[in-house]
């Protein structure tokens, strides 16, 4: 995410390397580099210029601190400015009303339908809400089916009416249906077009007027850079929306949209989409995004995601099994599934400070565990529970069945053996003490 911008900013600060103090000359040079980095990231020219000027002014106005280097000082000032450019504090979604009605708007392909699913999933799991979805995209029948598929996947009711071609009527009927069934949030997915057009705007404006939503969220594809900003402006002029959702931030986006939208439309970015899966949604925190852009890593998000995935009941059961020496390949699979649920491996690792840059060109993907899973799936239930049974001929069978090699399987079995031994030792306090004593 924003790798190029991060690199260029890094380079801008390098100008200051070895320089003992901030001076008019090095400040001017660094701020010029910062402006260039922002322009390269597809940030609007005026915003980039104001940003660089503001960083320059702040740097010159700083007292000379002997404890920090000019490079560090610039990093800090740039970080704070980036965060304020993206909105400063994070802004919550408005869920007032019974039911609260959230209208989703945006161009076709921006990720509206996907986001509607993700948002309902988020509100249900993280906010304890009971949401319902309404499919009001009357032009693309496939969009209605798509929403039903998503709804089924995350267990959320979807209201639709394929016979009706009037989005205002569908939205109203959806809300009435939600009221009668006791849903407390209604999310309305609307039709988009490939580009801003008058009929689409009239339609969505009519829906807004008819249902008076608690919140209108504008969804935009971050990969479209400056176009995203122009589209945001067109929708905002017409709808006066409440917040922005930036999708596809997991892609190779340069960052222009994320950095420019706030100051152009003066509306907060509320969520960002980071993948196609239903869990790939993050609340937007400007400060954390600034941390990430400057390569400071986003440890807070990482820890939060890990905590979310932690299932206490499961953990207790696992500890019991470990203590009884019953940890088996089914538990191993479970552990892998938990790690995978946390999201894209490369993204996760990129959040660890210092790691982001190092892994940029490495080939890490969600398939990292594919071989291991294939091998475990090729074992019989009995073999999974008692790996000791896996002798030479069974090894050949499992390797062939999973499309791997005996060497690879041997490695996995050895790893498993070591892991379970280690777990057993750590699970037992007496052994732990023994282990510590034996340490050199
Ligand atoms: P709509 O026409 O606005 O409803 O757009 P869709 O929800 O159908 O999304 C268009 C495409 O973008 C689909 O293939 C989605 O899977 C994909 N998509 C949506 N959000 C994201 C995201 O955050 N990251 C990635 N990588 N793909 C996304």
Give CATH superfamily name and number for 100-294.
P-loop containing nucleotide triphosphate hydrolases (3.40.50.300)
Q: Which atom of ligand 1 is nearest to the CA of 251?
A: 26
Nearest CA owner, ligand 1 atom 28: 276
Per-residue pLDDT at 256: 85
Q: In angstroms, what is the span from residue 69 Cα to ligand 1's centroid?
A: 43
With a 6 A CB cut-off, is 276 part of the ligand 1 pocket? Answer: yes
Give me ligand 1 centre to Cα 276, in Å: 6
Q: Quick check: CB of 192 below 6 Å from ligand 1? A: yes
pLDDT band at 102 (very low <50, low <70, confident <90, very high): very high
In the prediction, which pLDDT does 299 show? 47
| pLDDT bracket for residue 439 (50, 70, 90) | very low
Q: Is 145 exposed, middle or buried (0-12, 13-18, 19+ CB in 10 A)?
A: middle
Q: How far is the CA of 438 from the centre of ligand 1 (A)?
A: 55
**Centroid of ligand 1 to alpha carbon of 273 (angstroms):** 9
Average pLDDT over residues 337-341: 70
- Gap between the Cα atoms of 351 and 354, Å rounded: 9
Q: Where are the beta strands (DSSP E) in 239-297?
A: 243-247, 269-273, 281-283
The DSSP line for 123-158 is HHHHH---EEEEEE--S-HHHHHHHHHHHHHHT--E
231 in contact with ligand 1, CB cutoff 6 A = no
- The burial class, CB within 10 Å (0-12 / 13-18 / 19+), for 420 is buried
For ligand 1, whether the C-beta of 137 sits within 6 Å is no
Answer whether 251 contacts ligand 1 (Cβ < 6 A). yes
Confidence grade of residue 289 (pLDDT, cut at 50, 70, 90): confident
Could you tell me if the CB of 109 is within 6 A of ligand 1? yes
Number of C-beta neighbours around residue 44 at 10 A: 20
Beta bridge partner(s), residue 12: none
**Which atom of ligand 1 is closest in space to residue 114's alpha carbon?**
7
403: tokens are 């499309």
Q: Count Cα neighbours of 184 within 13 Å in the Cβ-side half-sphere.
A: 9
For the whole model, what pTM was predicted? 0.71
255 touches ligand 1 (CB under 6 Å): no
Whether residue 94 has pLDDT greater than 90: yes
Q: Which of 50-54, 99-103, 288-292 has the lowest mean pLDDT?
A: 288-292
From the CB of 118, is ligand 1 less than 6 Å away? no
Q: Is the CB of 108 under 6 A from ligand 1?
A: yes
Binding site as annotated, residues for GTP: 106-113, 189-193, 247-250
Query: Ligand 1: does its nearest atom lie under 6 Å from the Cβ of 343?
Result: no
Distance 302 CA to ligand 1 centre (A): 24
Distance 116 CA to ligand 1 centre (A): 10
Tell me which CATH code domain 309-437 carries: 1.10.260.30
Pocket mutation for ligand 1, best pick of 105, 114, 275 (most atoms within 8 Å of C-beta): 114
- Which amino acids are annotated as binding site, given as ranges? 106-113, 189-193, 247-250
Q: Domain 3-85 has what CATH class? A: mainly alpha
CA-based radius of gyration for the chain: 26
pLDDT, residue 125, reads 93
Tell me how far the alpha carbon of residue 24 lies from the centroid of ligand 1, in angstroms.
47
* All structural domains of the chain with their residue ranges: 3-85, 100-294, 309-437
Q: 187-208: per-residue pLDDT in tens?
A: 999 888 777 788 888 999 999 9
User: Would you state the structure tokens that stand for residue 343, as one six-digit string?
Assistant: 């999201």
pLDDT tens for each residue of 250-262: 877 778 888 899 9
CA of 111 to the centre of ligand 1 (A): 4
């Amino acid at each position: 995410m924003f790798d190029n911008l991060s690199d260029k900013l890094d380079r801008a600060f390098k100008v200051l390397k070895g320089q003992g103090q901030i001076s008019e000359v090095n400040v001017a040079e660094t701020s010029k580099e910062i402006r260039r980095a922002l322009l390269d990231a597809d940030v609007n020219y005026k915003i980039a210029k104001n940003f660089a000027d503001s960083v320059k002014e702040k740097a010159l106005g700083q007292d000379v601190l002997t404890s920090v280097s000019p490079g560090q000082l610039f990093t800090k000032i740039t970080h704070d400015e980036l965060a304020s450019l993206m909105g400063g504090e994070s802004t919550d979604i408005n869920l007032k009303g019974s039911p609260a009605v959230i209208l989703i708007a945006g161009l076709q392909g921006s990720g509206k339908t996907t986001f509607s699913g993700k948002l309902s999933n988020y509100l249900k799991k993280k906010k304890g809400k009971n949401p319902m979805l309404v499919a009001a995209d009357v032009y693309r029948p496939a969009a209605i089916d798509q929403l039903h598929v998503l709804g089924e996947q995350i267990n959320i009711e979807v209201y639709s009416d394929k016979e009706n071609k009037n989005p205002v009527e569908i939205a109203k009927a959806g809300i009435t249906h939600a009221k009668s069934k006791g849903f407390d949030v209604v999310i309305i997915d609307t039709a988009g077009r490939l580009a801003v057009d008058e009929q689409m705007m009239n339609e969505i404006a009519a829906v807004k007027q008819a249902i008076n939503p608690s919140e209108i969220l504008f969804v935009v594809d971050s990969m479209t850079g400056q176009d995203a900003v122009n589209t945001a402006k067109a929708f905002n002029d017409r709808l006066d929306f409440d917040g922005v959702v930036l999708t596809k931030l997991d892609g190779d986006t340069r960052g222009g949209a994320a950095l420019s939208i706030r100051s152009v439309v003066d509306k907060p970015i509320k969520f960002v989409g980071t993948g196609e899966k239903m869990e790939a949604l993050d609340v937007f925190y400007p400060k954390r995004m600034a941390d990430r852009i400057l390569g400071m890593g986003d440890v807070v998000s990482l820890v939060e995601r890990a905590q979310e995935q932690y299932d206490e009941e499961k953990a207790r059961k696992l500890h019991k099994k470990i203590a009884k020496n019953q940890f088996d390949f089914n538990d191993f699979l479970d552990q892998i599934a938990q790690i995978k649920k946390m999201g894209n491996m490369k993204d996760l690792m990129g959040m660890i400070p210092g790691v982001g840059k190092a892994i940029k060109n490495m080939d890490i993907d969600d398939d990292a565990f594919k071989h291991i899973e294939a091998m475990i799936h090729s074992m019989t239930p009995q073999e999974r529970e008692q790996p000791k049974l896996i002798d030479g001929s069974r090894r050949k069978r499992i390797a062939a069945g999973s499309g791997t090699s005996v060497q690879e399987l041997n490695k996995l079995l050895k790893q498993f053996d070591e892991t379970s031994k280690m777990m057993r030792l750590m699970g037992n306090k007496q052994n732990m003490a023994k282990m510590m004593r034996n340490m050199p």
